[in-house]
Structure 1
Amino acid sequence: MTVRVSGRVVTPTGVIQQGCVEINGDRITAIAEYPSHRDGHWIVPGFVDIHTHGGGGHTFTTGDAEAAREAADFHLAHGTTTLLASLVSSPYELMRDATAAFAPLVDKGVLAGVHYEGPYLSAVRCGAQNPDFLRDPSLDELTELLDLGNGAVRMVTIAPERAGALDAIRLLVSRGVVAAVGHTDATYDQTRAAIDAGATVATHLFNGMRPPHHREPGPVLTLLGAPGVTCELIADGIHLHDGTLAFVAATAGPDRAVLITDAMAAAGMPDGEYELGGQAVVVADRVARLARDGAIAGSTLTMDAAVRQAVGAGVSIPDAIRMSTLTPARAIGLGDRVGKLATGCRADLVVLDDDLNIIRVMRAGAWV
């Protein structure tokens, strides 16, 4: 049976002001103009979040499969139809167990993959990462994890100044895994070397990075200036000033800048005490901070709120949608399947009102 969803349709090439998305089963079968329809709702692709640690009181960071399902369901209700489960710096045993637990969820399509944010990160720029678990990259460790995941591991964040980092990046790229640069105190030259080795994503640009200086650009300007690097942005108005968000969106453009949540379990939950990577986190007035030193510890953001924040910062609606759908999908190698309203793609879409609040969410042809 064919289902038709009508409104202002955001496609990869622009906005059809009066359009219709036709769906049969779990696939989009047609995109067409629909001049007789006057529905003002925005019809956009399902959001793609390539960096999130949990939400709705549930976390990915402990490797619990049921908690992962609940966290994915929470973000699905906020329009995220494709997401990576991001771990934090952990002992090898936890990484191994989490990878084994999440691989079946990747096979079933609940998750799009696993993202290791650490443990191969800078102690100087560790942010909310647990410093007890930081270490240099190990090719043996990575190889075992990639073999265990059998395709489930999709991205790994590395600080390029750590011993063995470039070899680790080359290994990841050779295995079809996205190498990201983040939580780093690297120089311009060290960052450039990581890009030359194959790194293609900047993990939450600015946050957890040596600040730029006009005599030492460091990682931020190096990554921002590299045409082949996709730059993550935490669009919550806390991690980044709106002016910074707008600047990166304009400089990198919507084909390189992506919105992420970096959400933790506290997303969608009341203020209170939570946990992240074995560390106590206190959430007050939407802001999550480590209890021990007050460092920002992830976010309480959802992707629909990130889109509204970006538009409020001056990013156009079509660009904000691209930054939260097709561009992140392409960054993790899924741009031919999800992240766009196009014939043959999975039928993931979000219906938004004029204020960009969610009305309905569809994933694989089924309304949530």
Structure 2
Amino acid sequence: MNKTPNGYALLSINVIQEKKIIPNGFIKIRDGKIIATGSMENYEKEDGLIEKEFTTPLYAAPGFIDIHIHGLNGADTMDASEEALTTMAQTLPKEGTTSFLATTITQDKEPIEAALLTVHSFIEEQANNHSGSSELLGIHLEGPFISKKRAGAQPLTYIIDPCISTFSKWQKQSGNNIKVVTLAPELTEGTEFIQHLHQTGVIASIGHSDAVYSEMVTAIEAGASHVTHFYNGMRGIHHREPGVVGAGLAHQELFVEMIADGIHVHPAVIKATFLAKGSERMILITDSMRAKWLIDGEYELGGQKVLVENNTALLEDGTLAGSVLKMNDAVRNMIEYTNCSITEAIQMASSNPAKRLNVWDRKGSIEAGKDADIVLFNEEIEIILTICNGKITYKGAN
């Protein structure tokens, strides 16, 4: 019986680092960590590492981090089951995603609490026994503290005003794992709620909001630093009333999430946003629902019927209901739509979310000492190999 290797040496690859690419480079991995990287000119063989040399031109990037994902492959965060979270964690490496935030949807308090408790136990289980699947880093609480006018696919019935006591209870139930909260700042107690989030180290993200510009400025001053799926589910821009979108473009304090599928936001608008914000303040997300990786048909989101056809997920009334976007496709689309560099695209898919979630010390770049979360892809951004925590979790065609 073969002994499980304690490491790998990935050879003859283009290593994408934060500000540059090392052509014909290598990465050494041991015991779940990156121990060295550099040019093949400086490579030295090391005992105990299985060498994997690649003959076709491949890029190695830090694994993608999806901070806004509801589900995929038949599973959803709101299923509130270990099985659903396991399905998500095991499927995500197919698209190069090595870490994620399980994202909730507006519901009654009991289903939300069930989801939070399940995530808490799953994170503890992963910490004790990391199987090599995508790592669940926490929770993105999307709703229920949002605007009914800008609800989108969020169920109207369960929307409530921001409530610090309710959130505090939820945060405790989650094991302090709620990392991002999407809210509408114009609601009653919205400013106080943002201040509380900011003071407790939680990202206050403006989304599903009808806020006018002055309300956005107040929110930013209170500590808001993020905008959920930019352009979707929010007051748009007008040249005399900038709204949520105008504030997002004008204020560099705000990071903006982008669903780069060409459906939620027109490619020209994605390009304009990139020119305004730069790669430093944009984060690629999928906002995907359970139909991703499955065939077209009828599915469910937040208790609502969703029809999926031609890469588009819609409620029965035609409202967009999340996406079926894969992260490697988001990276490819971003390069195509904006003509950004591959390093800038990876910054938006890996580095920026790692920094936002305060895991930059161990994720988001290929550096010695960090977690060996690595994705290898070809020039078409097709996933060839995904490594999570030093373990090969997905092999594509090469």
TM-score range, shorter chain: over 0.9
Which of 102, 106, 110 is the equivalent residue of 1:89?
106
Distance in 2 between the 1:125 and 1:74 partners?
A: 31
**Unaligned regions of 5+ residues in structure 1, if any?**
none
Distance in 2 between the 1:321 and 1:71 partners?
A: 22
SS at match of 2:321: coil
Please list, as runs of the form range in 1=range in 2, the aligned pairs for 1:1-368 lying within 5 A after superposition: 1-6=6-11, 7-35=13-41, 40-107=57-124, 108-109=126-127, 110-291=135-316, 293-313=317-337, 314-368=339-393
**Cα pair 2:78 2:112 within 8 Å, conserved:** no
Letter in 2 for 1:23: I
Instruction: Tell me the TM-score normalized by structure 1.
Output: 0.97
Letter in 2 for 1:254: S
Runs (4 or more) in structure 1 with deviation over 4 Å come to 36-39
Letter in 1 for 2:31: G
Q: Deviations over 1:295-330 (max 9, x none)?
A: 000000110111111111122211111110001111
- How far off its partner does 1:2 sit? 4.4
How many aligned positions are there? Answer: 367
Distance in 2 between the 1:352 and 1:76 partners?
A: 12
**Cα pair 1:246 1:315 within 8 Å, conserved:** no
Instruction: Tell me the TM-score normalized by structure 2.
Output: 0.90
Q: Deviations over 1:156-175 (max 9, x none)?
A: 10101111111111111222
Distance in 1 between the 2:220 and 2:122 partners?
A: 31
Q: Which residue of 1 aligns with 2:46?
A: none
Distance in 2 between the 1:173 and 1:334 partners?
A: 17
Greater shift in the superposed pair: 263-272 or 167-176: 167-176
Distance in 2 between the 1:46 and 1:205 partners?
A: 23
Distance in 1 between the 2:181 and 2:173 partners?
A: 15
**Cα pair 1:201 1:331 within 8 Å, conserved:** no
Q: Deviations over 1:194-249 (max 9, x none)?
A: 11111111101101111100000001121222222211000111001111112222
SS at match of 2:279: coil
**Unaligned regions of 5+ residues in structure 2, if any?**
1-5, 44-52, 128-134, 394-398
Distance in 1 between the 2:40 and 2:281 partners?
A: 31
- How far off its partner does 1:283 sit? 0.6
Greater shift in the superposed pair: 218-227 or 134-143: 218-227
Q: Tell me how large the CA RMSD over aligned residues is.
A: 1.4
Distance in 1 between the 2:220 and 2:37 partners?
A: 37
Letter in 2 for 1:123: K
Distance in 1 between the 2:56 and 2:383 partners?
A: 15
Q: Sequence identity of aligned pairs in percent? A: 35
Letter in 2 for 1:232: E
SS at match of 2:78: coil
